[in-house]
Chains A and B, each alone.
Chain A
Amino acid sequence: MKRILITELNKRVITKIMRIQVTGKQDLGPSTPWTLGPFLIIIALLIFVTPSYSENKFKLKEGANAKLCVDCHETLQKTLESSFVHFPVENGECSTCHNPHTSDHGKLLSDDVNALCRKCHEDVLPEEARSIHKVVAEGNCVGCHDPHASDNQFVLLKKGNDLCFECHKDIGDFVARVEYKHDPVEKKKGCLTCHNVHASRDFNFLLKKDAPSLCTQCHRTGERKFAERHMNYPVGDSRCTSCHNAHGSNTRKIIFDGAHEPVVKRECDKCHEGPLSQTPLKAVKDGIELCRECHKETIDKIFRKAQVHWPLVDSTACMHCHNPHAARQKNLMKGTMVNVCGECHPDKVALQQISIKNPENKTICKPVKEGNCVDCHSSPHSSDSQLFIAEESMSFGTCNKCHEWRSHSTHPIGDEVIDPRNENLIVECLSCHRAGGTGNKPKMLHYGSTYILCIQCHTGYRK
């Protein structure tokens, strides 16, 4: 019993030591020689009093640990000279992770790399995380960490943001390029000022906190200067990132590039009641009438068409799809096309997703593949044609923008060719294809094979 307890205690201490080794001095907190000294003595005692935590399962001779490995793996010696060495490596416990004889895993690892790391680092992920770093979810710990040693803290492959920008190259390039930079991105702890590295239990994008709580850790919203900069509107509890790009911008005050003009010009009262009003953040008009104040011509044009997209005429109106302040996407779109359109048309997006993910489905229209709904539905606000297309006909107008339908095949097609299945239809692109994608069916056909498609009309050829 005593031994079990000691072993358990030993394991805990060893975990602590591993943390010290891996993290350098960071995790020691307010350590001083007064606290560290006795602590190390206890550790040393425990190590000598109880058997080694890795139980010498390969029955190596005394002193053979690591020495045996280094005899052949000469580079290991140099590795050990790094500033930060993974604890088992430093202790010569190669067999903690590797099987010296055989293995089902690469590099003679004794288990899957993900499982292997978790054996000791089981607390890396919270039980229920709102967001998990992709590389962590995939169990690719070695994507960021060197399992042996490194000159960077936490045995990381690279230092600070350089490591993050290896994968998040677009953000790295953007941050380097923009004129106005958000200090924490480049200085302080870089990305890790705002983001957790492995997972975030409560927030998206691995954020440590959500806006505005995260922002108010540095920015004091109670100060007069803050109020003045925000035209005295009480925005201290508003979501900062609806106007500001936390990574940087080419616009002053890191307001999103391409932000809505009144935001850039600080004309909040164009849309909102005055800052001294009892409801200062309330819009001065409801629904599309608010937007019509400035975009009259565009909106009048929209409403002249035969069919108006219904969301435009409710109280949310334009803001179903557009962010009224600023956005990462062009035209102040709230998100990618697939995300924005998919809010109301999840069935269409689901079909598109199946279509593009099917490896057999090699022939697929570019807009479907890229999820650019407006490439075809190019008049998404209103249209005189079906399906919010700008052209008169989907087949002979919209498809024709990319496909020369007259030379598509020798099959008769066009205004003069009546569909044998329905006397009120002509044969056109959509007679055979479904433009938004057909899931697992090939070539965006309505049916599972060309044969089944053809025999719908050419019934004489049915087997």
Chain B
Amino acid sequence: MMIKGMIKKRAVPATAVLLFFLVYPVMAFGASAVKGKHITSVYTYKVGEDIKRLKHPQGVGCSDTSLFIVADTENELFVQYELRDGQVKTVADFKQRQVSRPTKVLINSKGDIYTLDGKKRRIVKLSSDGQFIDYIVPKGLPSPESYVPKSFALDRSDNIYVLDIFSKRVLVLSPEAEFQKQIEFPKDHGYFSDVSVNFKGDILLLDSTKARVLYATKHEVSFSPLTESLREYLRYPTNVTTDSRGRIYLVDRNGYQIVVLGQDGSFLAYATGAGWKEGLLRYPSQVCLNTKGELFVADTDNNRVQIFQLIQ
């Protein structure tokens, strides 16, 4: 009885202390500023003994390995690099006739490369060594003739989310491109540039002209606004991605910066700044984040890719 009482007396403060130590860091983490510490910038790639220069790269895809891939848009090819100890080394470059103008690029859990061909407006799947696998043509799609992909995203299970601007919908496809479901655009919208999916499977939709993010949870069939207009913080967002904690990273193309939002859409920080020097951006196109907290940015008008370490 006495022991029980003693335990009971101590249990309350112990729980409180435990809760404090568990919850406080999470709360603090959520509210803290996120900054990108510049690691390195990539300007060139090696082809044999020759050094070639990146030209308007619009895509960068990364994974939890040390490899990352760049869509060197104006040169119409891909370059695979390895990042080790802050040093970048060219692994390979490959040009595929099936891809005229590579823009957005993503890597799935198996290392396969997905890219959007900006000229032909189709999604192309390549193997990790750059071999053409297939075009992503949705199977079993309602009104397949009215399909124009503007952007796409992959989730952890390699499901494919396609922003179909012709039929004003987001398509959810299986890894084999079989149609799963579609969510129509809301009635009141501007111009949608990008789609993303977070660790919970919620779909994020980026409205560039209205400068806001919309979302639909995994089981919802319509989009709702996650944020009001973010014009106060940015100018023209064109790319959206999330990290493993659900924080949202927006590429503000015309504002030359990366804007970080909390999971609830509240503004947290600017991860980078605008300019020409290393660590600064001009007309960035895509960001990619891996679980190591490395942030890769296709710094398009600066003709380079920059890599940052995210710090709290």
Query: Which residues of A are interface residues toward B (Cβ below 8 A)?
Result: 286-287, 306-308, 310-311, 313-315, 343-348, 386, 419, 421-425, 431, 456
Could you tell me if B168 and A346 are in contact, using CB atoms closer than 8 angstroms? no
Could you tell me if A423 and B43 are in contact, using CB atoms closer than 8 angstroms? yes
Could you tell me if B191 and A344 are in contact, using CB atoms closer than 8 angstroms? yes
Contacts A307-B118, A347-B211 given; 6 further ones with Cβ under 8 A?
A: A314-B148, A347-B231, A386-B301, A421-B276, A424-B54, A425-B303
Give the contacts of B88-147 with A (CB-CB under 8 A): 100-101, 118-119, 121, 146
- Describe B's contact surface by its main secondary structure: loop
Query: Do A346 and B254 form a contact, CB below 8 Å, given A307-B101, A314-B165, A421-B276?
Result: no
Could you tell me if B166 and A287 are in contact, using CB atoms closer than 8 angstroms? yes
CA–CA, A306 and B101, complex, Å: 7
Shortest A292–chain B CB gap in Å is 14
Q: How many residues of B contact A (CB 8 A)?
A: 34
Q: Which residues of A contact B121 (CB under 8 A)?
A: 308, 313
Could you tell me if A422 and B166 are in contact, using CB atoms closer than 8 angstroms? no
With beta carbons under 8 angstroms apart, the residue of A311, A344, A422 that contacts B302 is: A422
CA–CA, A421 and B209, complex, Å: 31
Q: Which residues of B contact A347 (CB under 8 A)?
A: 211, 231, 235-236, 254-255
Could you tell me if A422 and B209 are in contact, using CB atoms closer than 8 angstroms? no
Q: Which residues of A contact B236 (CB under 8 A)?
A: 345, 347-348
CA–CA, A347 and B168, complex, Å: 23
Could you tell me if A310 and B276 are in contact, using CB atoms closer than 8 angstroms? no
Query: Which residues of B are interface residues toward A (Cβ below 8 A)?
Result: 43-44, 53-54, 56, 100-101, 118-119, 121, 146, 148, 150, 165-168, 190-191, 208-209, 211, 231, 235-236, 254-255, 275-277, 301-304
Could you tell me if B43 and A343 are in contact, using CB atoms closer than 8 angstroms? no
With beta carbons under 8 angstroms apart, the residue of B101, B165, B303 that contacts A422 is: B303
Shortest A261–chain B CB gap in Å is 27
Could you tell me if A306 and B119 are in contact, using CB atoms closer than 8 angstroms? yes
CA–CA, A456 and B276, complex, Å: 9
Could you tell me if B276 and A311 are in contact, using CB atoms closer than 8 angstroms? no
* A and B contact pairs by CB, cutoff 8 A, 27 listed: A306-B119, A307-B101, A313-B148, A313-B166, A314-B165, A315-B167, A343-B209, A344-B190, A347-B231, A347-B236, A347-B254, A347-B255, A386-B56, A386-B301, A421-B275, A421-B276, A422-B276, A422-B303, A422-B304, A424-B43, A424-B44, A424-B302, A425-B276, A425-B302, A425-B303, A431-B276, A456-B276
Could you tell me if B146 and A315 are in contact, using CB atoms closer than 8 angstroms? yes
Q: Which residues of B contact A419 (CB under 8 A)?
A: 276
CA–CA, A310 and B253, complex, Å: 16
Q: Which residues of B contact A306 (CB under 8 A)?
A: 100-101, 118-119
Shortest B175–chain A CB gap in Å is 26
Q: Which residues of B contact A348 (CB under 8 A)?
A: 236, 254
With beta carbons under 8 angstroms apart, the residue of A311, A315, A422 that contacts B168 is: A315
CA–CA, A163 and B121, complex, Å: 56
Shortest A422–chain B CB gap in Å is 5
Q: Which residues of B contact A422 (CB under 8 A)?
A: 276-277, 302-304
Could you tell me if B191 and A311 are in contact, using CB atoms closer than 8 angstroms? yes
Could you tell me if A286 and B146 are in contact, using CB atoms closer than 8 angstroms? yes
CA–CA, A277 and B146, complex, Å: 22
CA–CA, A456 and B301, complex, Å: 18
CA–CA, A236 and B124, complex, Å: 48
CA–CA, A386 and B285, complex, Å: 13
Q: Which residues of B contact A344 (CB under 8 A)?
A: 190-191, 208-209
Q: Which residues of B contact A431 (CB under 8 A)?
A: 276
CA–CA, A307 and B190, complex, Å: 21
Q: Which residues of B contact A287 (CB under 8 A)?
A: 166
Nearest residue (CB) in B for A424 is: B303
Q: Which residues of A contact B56 (CB under 8 A)?
A: 386
Scoring A310, A315, A348, A431 by chain B CB atoms within 10 A of each residue's CB, the highest score goes to A310
CA–CA, A346 and B191, complex, Å: 12
With beta carbons under 8 angstroms apart, the residue of A311, A343, A424 that contacts B304 is: A424
Shortest B73–chain A CB gap in Å is 9
Could you tell me if B165 and A313 are in contact, using CB atoms closer than 8 angstroms? yes
Nearest residue (CB) in A for B300 is: A386
Shortest A26–chain B CB gap in Å is 44
Nearest residue (CB) in A for B150 is: A310
Query: Do A346 and B54 form a contact, CB below 8 Å, given A421-B277, A425-B276?
Result: no
Nearest residue (CB) in A for B44 is: A424
With beta carbons under 8 angstroms apart, the residue of A307, A308, A345, A424 that contacts B53 is: A424
Pick the 8 closest A-B CB pairs, nearest first. A424-B303, A421-B276, A347-B235, A314-B165, A424-B43, A422-B276, A347-B236, A421-B277
Shortest A455–chain B CB gap in Å is 12
CA–CA, A425 and B26, complex, Å: 42
Q: Which residues of B contact A313 (CB under 8 A)?
A: 121, 148, 165-166
